[in-house]
Each structure stands twice: as C-alpha cells, then as structure tokens.
C-alpha cells in the first residue's frame, strides 16, 4: 500500500511539472507575439512619421536649379512688338512648376500670366522670402483659380533677367525663395522689334557668299555646330549652312518651318534661313541619338563682327 501511495505522489508531481512547463511556454509565446506585434506597429508608425517628415521638408531640401544662360542680356518691352506671346519660363525649383506662360506686351510694359502645374501656392511676391514676410499684404500677388490650378499674373521688368520671387505655400503657410527667368529666346520671330537684330539689308550685304562665326546654345551642351558658317545672300535673304557635330539630327524647325537635312552621311547638314544676325535666333532640332527621338530647343548666334567673304 505504501508503494502505491508513493507512486501516486510521484505521478502527481510529474503531472504538475508538465502543466507548469506548458503554461510557461504559452506565456513565453504570447509574450513573444505581443513584442513582435508591438515592434511591427512601432516600425510602421516610425515609417509613416519618417515619410510625413520627408513630405513636410521636401520643398526646403530640393536643391535650387540654375536658371537662364551664361551671357544673357536683359530684353525690355521697348524692343518687343506689342502683342501676346507664349514663352518659356525657367524656375529654380522643381516644386514651382510653371505649366505655361503668356507674355503680354503693351504700351512699353510687360506682364506674364503664369499657369501653374497645381494649386499649392496662394500668393507670390516679387522679392525674397524674408522681404515677403515683412511686406504689407497689399503687395502680394494672389492666385486665381482656373480649372483646379493656380494662375498668377505678374509684372515683368525684363526678359533674360533673373527675377527674385517668393511663393507662399497654402499647406505649410511659409514663404519659399524662387528665381525666375522669362526667356527671350522663346519669343517668336515676329515679336522682335526693329533694332533687335541685323538683317542682310541692314548689314549692306550684296548677293554673295559670306562667313560668319556661329555659336550654338541649348540642350545638354554636348552638341556643337561648325564655325564659321557659310552664309549665302540672294535677293536680300540669307541662308546658312549648319553642320552639326553628328549625323543624328533628322530635321530642324526655324520660325515654325520644318527643314529636312541635305546630308546625313558624316554629319547632319541643313540649309536654314537666317532670321537675323547679332541675336540669339531660336531653332529646334530633332535628335535620334536617344532611345526615342527628342526635339530640343537651341539658339544660333551669327556674330556680325566676324563677317567676311567665304573662302572654300
């Protein structure tokens, strides 16, 4: 009987130990799962907070972009024919996206109607952000809402001149510095007033073949054209032979006219009208060097000081 009682006692102790072990394992597992879930929640929360912080600070951390071009000279209203023109505007910030701009020239003054890519800005101020904060609200230029985007109408002192501009963010309620350049080289040829450029007639060029140094600007800066260029004058009209640094250009556009190459053997060679000498004549050229063709804007400057008779 004593042996049976002893065996029962041993069995009871073992059963109790197994039960305690199972409870401990369950407790540890539940604790582990709780820690894991808490960690996941904390990680997710941290990620959301980090994303929100990045979104909040992005406009301040986006690096400023260069605007305009080297050697640009201010172009005022008195050298532009009165009218309305679609032009290009350089912005120093990708956050200040100008989708389109209409320039209005009248009575010796210019205004620009800038249509933004969104509606995130409430006011503009012509000056710095610091100046805007201390300025009277009457000096602010309010946005006009059209089709869900903001439109700002601003006075323009001159084209091809860096203009300091501050933009007020609706969401942040902060002023941000921006630099703008209204590009004169995006004006159509008919916008240029008398005296803005020279012609074959004003230069006194008789029918013949001449040499002019030519400078190409625009694009990535890698493309070049041969200089000096051969310029033929016939009946008072000038035509230039433009030879590119590669044979990857399949057409050019000058004053709205699409011009095909006369040769693409070694280089792309075009014969284009010279709209004017002594100014940056806007042209565009389509390159096939990329995975898909791209039409790129350039300017050509025919230097009148370099004029001479062409020698083969």
* Each residue's pLDDT tens digit, 14-45: 444 444 444 444 343 444 444 344 343 343 33
CA quadruple 83, 119, 67, 223: dihedral positive or negative? negative
DSSP state at residue 207: S
How many angstroms separate the CA atoms of 261 and 286, rounded?
Answer: 11
Please check whether residue 101 is in contact with residue 113, taking contact to mean a CB–CB distance below 8 angstroms.
Answer: yes
Q: Where are the domains of the chain?
A: 77-189, 197-309
Beta bridge partners of 86: 102
Q: What residues does 273 pair with on adjacent strands?
A: 239
- Higher per-residue pLDDT: 4 or 173: 173
Domain 77-189: top CATH class: mainly beta
Residue of higher predicted confidence among 141 and 47: 141
Judge whether 77-189 and 197-309 match in fold: yes
**Per-residue pLDDT at 194:** 67
End-to-end CA distance of the chain: 132
Strands 308-309 and 229-234: unpaired
The CATH T-level fold of domain 197-309 is Immunoglobulin-like (2.60.40)
- pLDDT recorded at residue 18: 41
């Amino acid at each position: 009987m004593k042996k049976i009682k002893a065996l029962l006692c041993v069995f009871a102790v073992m059963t109790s130990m197994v039960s305690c072990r199972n409870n401990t394992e369950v407790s540890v597992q539940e604790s582990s799962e709780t820690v894991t879930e808490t960690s996941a929640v904390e990680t997710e929360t941290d990620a959301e907070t980090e994303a929100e912080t990045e979104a909040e600070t992005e406009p301040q951390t986006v690096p400023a972009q260069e605007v305009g071009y080297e050697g640009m000279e201010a172009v005022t209203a008195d050298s532009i024919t009165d009218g309305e023109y679609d032009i290009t505007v350089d912005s120093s910030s990708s956050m200040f996206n100008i989708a389109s701009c209409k320039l209005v020239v009248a009575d010796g003054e210019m205004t620009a109607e800038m249509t933004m890519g969104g509606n995130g800005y409430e006011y503009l101020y012509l000056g710095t952000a610091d100046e805007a904060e201390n300025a009277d609200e009457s000096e602010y230029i309010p946005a006009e809402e059209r089709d869900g985007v903001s439109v700002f109408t601003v006075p323009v002192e001159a084209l091809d001149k860096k203009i300091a501009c501050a933009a007020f963010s609706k969401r942040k309620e902060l002023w941000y510095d921006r630099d703008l350049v209204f590009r004169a080289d995006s004006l159509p040829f008919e916008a240029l007033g008398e005296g803005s450029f020279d012609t074959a007639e004003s230069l006194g060029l008789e029918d013949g073949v001449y040499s002019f140094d030519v400078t190409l600007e625009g694009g990535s800066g890698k493309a070049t054209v041969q200089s000096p260029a051969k310029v033929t004058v016939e009946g008072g009209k000038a035509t230039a032979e433009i030879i590119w640094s590669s044979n990857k250009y399949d057409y050019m556009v000058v004053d709205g006219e699409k011009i095909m190459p006369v040769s693409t053997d070694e280089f792309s060679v075009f014969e284009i009208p010279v709209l004017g000498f002594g100014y940056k004549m806007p042209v565009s050229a389509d390159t096939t060097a990329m995975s898909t063709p791209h039409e790129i804007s350039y300017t050509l400057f025919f230097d009148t000081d370099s004029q001479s008779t062409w020698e083969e």
